[in-house]
Amino acid sequence: MKILFNRRPVVGPWGGGTKVLSAIIEECAARGHKTFFEEEINFQNDIDILFCMDPRPSSIINFNQILDYRRSHLKTKLVQRVGDLGTHGKPELFELVQASSQFSDVLIFPSAWAKDYLGSKKQSCIISNAPLTKFLIPKINKNFSKRTKIVSHHWSNNSLKGFDVYKKLDDYCSINNADFCFVGRKPEDVNLTNYVPPQDVNGLIKILPKHDVYITASKQEAGANHVLEAMALGLPILYHKDGGSINEYCKDFGMQYENFEELIYILENKKELLQNIANNMSYTRSSIDMAKEYVNLFEAL
């Protein structure tokens, strides 16, 4: 089978989308399928699957070119992953996804929340995101009796990632028995005491497990990878009630909060419960499992 992707994976400390794409491509290769990329669409006349990772135009190809190819190759199937719905300040992306989804044979959503948010009636399925296998390392039992060590990480500096909460948390920790470390990209005007620039997988594997609890204040995430990486490393998650996919992913691996006051209450009064969650976590789903579901779908088509 020949599969053409309208994006290439990006190497380095980037977010979840490129990790999802890399895992799918690796699984295709492992099964003997041939993979092609956006710049090769005009040179391959017998593509079986066109996989749209993102309907936005790249420097090489746009969605209309994908449609033109499909119209002239009726046996080719168009599969679209709906991984970004423009909720983080990109309303034009939501409109583009709505439009492009009407032409796809199958839509793949990373969460039920994302499917409900788009409201599409097209043939669709849900394939949850999963962390790279490197994150599934042996767990270390946590002891919350000492100074609580809190961590979070993001690759986007969008305000909906929750930087207002992270700043308040940083101020709180400076005068209380806790430490907060933030890893990744942040707005220039947000100053955090313990800030670490974006890290690749190996860097995250070293940094995150040194902490006791993971906090995310991100909202309306279609398919959040940052919490999956933390869960795989054995960290209990404190997540906002409006997290979107985060609430689905983390419901058995942490606790939900509604506002900053409730977040602090949990940190101060629920240490034993958080410790029990951490020491009994059994998250095992990996990017290989996720990629198999994608390629199984390709083969079924």
The amino acid at residue 98 is Q
Per-residue model confidence (pLDDT) at position 8: 85
Per-residue model confidence (pLDDT) at position 228: 96
CA distance 41 to 2: 11
Average pLDDT of span 97-108 = 92
Q: Chain centroid to CA 36: how far?
A: 24
Q: What are phi and psi of 109, to 5 degrees?
A: -110, 145
Determine contact, residues 261/269, Cβ cutoff 8 Å.
no
**Domain spanning 134-279: CATH superfamily:** Glycogen Phosphorylase B; (3.40.50.2000)
Q: How far apart are the first and last CA of the chain?
A: 11
Per-residue model confidence (pLDDT) at position 14: 56
Determine contact, residues 205/135, Cβ cutoff 8 Å.
yes
The average confidence (pLDDT) of the chain is 92
Torsion of Cα atoms, 145 then 243 then 188 then 209, to 10°: 30
Residue 244 has pLDDT above 90, yes or no: yes
Determine contact, residues 143/173, Cβ cutoff 8 Å.
no
CA distance 215 to 166: 9
- As its CATH architecture, domain 2-130+286-300 has 3-Layer(aba) Sandwich (3.40)
For the chain, give every residue range classified as CATH 3.40.50.2000.
2-130+286-300, 134-279
Q: Chain centroid to CA 257: how far?
A: 20
Per-residue model confidence (pLDDT) at position 15: 61
Who has greater pLDDT, 17 or 37? 37
Determine contact, residues 177/212, Cβ cutoff 8 Å.
no
Determine contact, residues 222/198, Cβ cutoff 8 Å.
no
Per-residue model confidence (pLDDT) at position 58: 84
96 contacts: CB under 8 Å, gap ≥ 6: 55, 56, 63, 86
Lowest mean pLDDT among 81-90, 182-191, 217-226: 81-90
Could you give the percent of the chain with pLDDT greater than 70?
98
Average pLDDT of span 84-93 = 82
60-65 CB contacts, 8 Å cutoff, 24+ apart: 61/6, 63/6, 63/96, 63/100, 65/41
Residue 190 has pLDDT above 90, yes or no: yes
